[in-house]
């Protein structure tokens, strides 16, 4: 089990959290003007990186806040966590 450092509550067990996806992606702008293909690509076509990656996590059984985690997808080692506006690096390295 992972021990995740919530930037608001401190270290907690993984079971308190929900994975939220890739934190390096930008949502398409004006949804009324976005082509269907662009929206489908954003929703369904994702990289599956091996190594350090920045992810969204939600403290669903705690403070209920979203935050970023820099985690190695191969070893599951967490090297950093931060608030949504924090810069944890550039994603895959």
- Per-residue model confidence as pLDDT tens for the chain (93 residues): 889 999 999 999 999 999 999 999 888 888 888 899 988 988 898 888 899 999 999 999 999 999 999 999 999 999 999 999 999 976 554
pTM: 0.84
In this structure, how many other beta carbons lie within 10 angstroms of the beta carbon of residue 4?
22
Can you tell me whether residue 16 is helix, strand or coil? helix
Q: What is the CATH number of domain 3-82?
A: 3.30.2270.10
Tell me the domain boundaries of the chain: 3-82
């Amino acid at each position: 089990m992972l021990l995740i450092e919530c930037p608001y509550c401190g270290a907690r067990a993984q079971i308190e959290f929900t994975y939220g996806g890739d934190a390096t992606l930008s949502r398409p702008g004006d949804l009324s003007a976005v082509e269907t293909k662009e929206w489908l690509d954003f929703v369904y076509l994702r990289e599956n990186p091996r190594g350090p990656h920045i992810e969204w996590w939600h403290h669903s059984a705690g403070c209920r806040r979203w935050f970023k985690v820099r985690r190695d997808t191969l070893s599951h080692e967490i090297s950093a966590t931060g608030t949504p506006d924090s810069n944890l690096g550039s994603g895959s390295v």
